[in-house]
Each structure stands twice: as C-alpha cells, then as structure tokens.
Amino acid sequence: MSKSMIPVRVASVRDVAPKIREFRFTAVDQALPAFSAGSHVMVEMQGAEKTYRNAYSLMSDPADISSYGIAVRLQDESRGGSVFMHTQVQEGDVLNIAPPANLFAPHWAAKKHILIAGGVGITPFMSYLPEMKRRNADFELHYLYRSAQTGAYRQQLSEALGEKYFSYDSDHGQQCIVHQLLAQLSPGAHVYICGPESLIEAVKTEAATLGIPAGIIHYEEFAAPKPGKAFTVSLASSGQQIAVDGESSMLEALEEAGVEVANMCRGGVCGQCVTGVKEGIPEHRDDFLSAAEKASGQCVMPCVSRAVTDSLTLDL
Ligand code: FES
C-alpha cells in the first residue's frame, strides 16, 4: 500500500438500482479527510490475481465526513473492478482508498447550474445537491437512465428537488432533447455532464452547434482504459522490463510492479501521470496532451495510453 492510502471500513452495502450497488465507508484508524462537491476517490481492490484500482465519485454530503458514500455500476464489459465490488466486497471489509481529489467542482460564480446525469453519472451530483441547497444556488437536474438497469435514487431526488428535477427513462421511451435544453440556456448558466462518453459527446456537439462557449460546459467520465495489444515497458533508470497485457493499462502494470506514478483521474484528463518517453512510439489516448505534445512522442499518459511499438522506454 502506498503511504498516502487511507484504510476504510465498509459500513454498509445495498443495491440502489438493478445494476448499481452503494457502499458506505467509515474511518478505521484515521479520520476521513474533508472533501468538496464533485470529488472522487480511487478505491484499491485486492483481487486474487491482481489489484484493481478504480475511481468513484463521492456521493455523500461534503458537510458530513463521518462516512463516504460511493455507488458502483456493474459494468457489462468489466475489467474486474466493478465485478469485484459487486461480488467480493461485504460489510466489515477493509479497503484502501486514495485521498479525495476534485476534477469536477461546481463553478460557484455561475448564475445557474444545469446538471445532466446519465445512469451512474448521478453520483457526483449527489454531493453537489446539498451544497447547492446551502448556497441557495439556482440549478436543474436532468437525469437520464434505464430503469431496468440504473436510475438509482430517483424517488428521493424527485421528492427533494420537485420542479428542479427532470427525469428521462429510456426504458419507457422518455428522451431528453439536448438541443432544446441547451437552446434555452440562460445567460451566466454553466452545464455539467457526468455519464457515458456518448452523452458527453452529444452535449458537447450540440453546444458547439449552438455556439455555446466550451468554457461553460464541464464534464466528467470515469471510463475504464480501453484494451489494446500487449507491449513491454522499460524503465530508463534501472532497465527493468514490465509486461503490459492487453487488458491492463500501462499505469496498472507499473503499479503492479511496485512503481509509483502520480495519478488522479486515471482517465487521461488531469495530467498528473505525465511521464517522459525515451524510446518507442506511444499510442496516445488521452485528452490532456496537446496535438503538438502528442506528435513529439516525448511524453505519455500511462493511465490510458499505450504503445504503437512493441516496447516503450519510460523516463522512470
Ligand atoms: S491520471 Fe489523470 S491523466 Fe493520467
């Protein structure tokens, strides 16, 4: 376990939708750190063959750090982490988490906040809502889900938010017309999206079509790194060679070998894991590096990117 990890006890586990399970964590031997609305934690799961590390939004009220809440969707094409959380983790277990980090904080200067959640993408907004209420912020929540799979907390949200709440159950043919939603955006409003890539792309594309500045569109996606061909990483300092199999990310392979690399989002957006490349050609899959940086081939984001060549020598 790296020095900064925090042990937490699983205080409760419950199903909140057909494919979503909620976990509540409490402190073991050190108080849980404060966090802000929109934060996430990386949860470490010790499987039989490998350690899984997934990022999950904190969905509890930031004003109450007696426990942390996360909700995990059982992924149809899980690489192991969500299956582990759903099948192995039980009340009383101890897991390690990284301290909270926030890449999706509300822009409090906005005059209005339009929150768009897709499925389990509701989770960061669960931590926004109490804070929005305390600050008397103007907001709307638009919640898209499939009731046969997701749609957690919708009763609770409907009761708590009243006319600020709009729900769209695609299993019942209810559609959110993104064009209409964005066309009615009031001056000074900001838009936040959390959900699958397709939803984020749809909102970004519609916003661009309507001439809405990209700076007021904020989004967060916790996509698992996509698989690819296997390759080998060499560490320039020691010559150590580490195999990256087709299902694991470069970051996961480095961690499995005991090599610590700073990271925060594990999804190619935050820039924390940037690592120099000495030899070989990276296959860039991140949203952080500029086109020129990618073309130079001198650095790589190991959380999502891979290698075109059979091996990559990293400046580690
Ligand atoms: S950890 Fe955020 S870009 Fe890699």
- Å from CA of 220 to ligand 1 middle: 13
For residues 201-221, average pLDDT: 95
User: What pLDDT, on the 0 to 100 scale, is given for residue 264?
Assistant: 87
Does residue 247 carry a pLDDT above 70?
Answer: yes
Cβ 263 under 6 angstroms from ligand 1: yes
Query: Is the pLDDT score of 225 beyond 90?
Result: no
Element containing residue 2 per DSSP (H, E): none
pTM of the model: 0.89
**Does 196 sit in the ligand 1 pocket, CB within 6 Å?**
no
Instruction: State pLDDT tens for residues 155-193.
Output: 999 999 999 999 999 999 999 999 999 999 999 999 999
**Cα-flanking dihedrals φ and ψ of residue 96, to 5°?**
-105, 135
Distance from C-alpha of 193 to C-alpha of 204, rounded to nearest angstrom: 9
Phi-psi map region of 129: left, alpha, beta (phi>0 left; psi -120 to 50 alpha) = alpha
* Length of the chain in terms of residues written: 316
Q: Which of 250, 273, 290, 306 to mutate to test the pocket of ligand 1 (most atoms within 8 A of CB)?
A: 273
**7 Cβ inside 6 Å of ligand 1:** no
Is the Cβ–Cβ distance between 91 and 10 less than 8 Å? yes
Planar angle of CA 93, 196, 248, nearest 5 degrees: 55
For the chain, what is the largest distance between any 2 Cα atoms, rounded to a whole number of angstroms? 61
Ligand 1 atom closest to Cα of 302?
Answer: 4
- Which residue segments constitute the domains of the chain, with CATH numbers given? 6-102 (2.40.30.10), 112-220 (3.40.50.80), 231-314 (3.10.20.30)
Q: Which of ligand 1's atoms lies nearest the C-alpha of 273?
A: 4
Instruction: Determine the atom of ligand 1 nearest the C-alpha atom of 266.
Output: 1
What are the phi and psi torsion angles at 210 (to 5°)? Answer: -85, 0
Ligand 1 neighbourhood includes 273 CB (under 6 angstroms): yes
Atom nearest to 304 CA in ligand 1: 4
Atom of ligand 1 nearest to the CA of 301: 4
pLDDT of residue 243: 97
Substitution site in 289, 294, 301, 314 for ligand 1 pocket (most atoms within 8 Å of beta carbon) = 301
| Integer Cα distance of 34 and 255 in angstroms | 26
Ligand 1 pocket, residue 287 CB under 6 Å: no
Q: Cα(64)–Cα(176) distance, rounded to whole angstroms?
A: 33
pLDDT given at position 75: 84
Q: Say if ligand 1 is within 6 A of residue 301 CB.
A: yes
User: Which pLDDT score, from 0 to 100, does residue 238 have?
Assistant: 95
Picking from 50, 49, 56, the residue whose alpha carbon sits closest to that of residue 97 is: 56
Distance 135 CA to ligand 1 centre (A): 31
Give the per-residue pLDDT at 175.
Answer: 92
What value does the mean pLDDT take over residues 66-95? 92
For the chain, the average pLDDT equals: 94
Tokens encoding 154? 């919708």
> Quick one: average pLDDT of 192-217?
95
DSSP character at residue 125 = H
SS3 4: coil
Mean pLDDT of the 211-217 span:
96
151: left (phi over 0), alpha (psi -120 to 50) or beta: left
Closest CA to 244 of 258, 260, 228, 259: 228
pLDDT at 3: 53
Distance CA 24, CA 56 (A): 12
Q: Name the band, by pLDDT with cuts 50, 70 and 90, for residue 49.
A: confident
11 pLDDT higher than 60: yes
DSSP reduced 3-state for 27: strand
Q: Are 47 and 54 in contact (CB under 8 A)?
A: no
